[in-house]
Amino acid sequence: MPGIDECLLEAMRLPGARGAALVDWTSGLALGVVGESPGGDQETAAVEAAELARLAAEQQAFAPDGDAGDGTGEEAGPPVEDLIISNRDSYHVLRFVRTSFDSSVCLHLWLARAEGNLALARIRLGEMAGRLVLG
What are the b/e assignments for 65-74, b being 16+ CB within 10 Å?
Answer: eeeeeeeeee
Q: What is the CA radius of gyration of the chain?
A: 14
Sheet holding 17-24, edge to edge: 29-35, 17-24, 105-112, 90-97, 82-86
Residue type, 31: L
% of the chain surpassing 70 pLDDT: 90
Give CATH for domain 4-66+75-131.
3.30.450.30
Q: What are the 10-residue block averages of pLDDT along the chain, 135 residues in total?
A: 86 97 94 93 94 90 68 62 95 91 90 96 94 76
Q: Whole-model pTM?
A: 0.87
- Closest listed residue to residue 53, CA positions, set 23, 8, 74, 33: 23
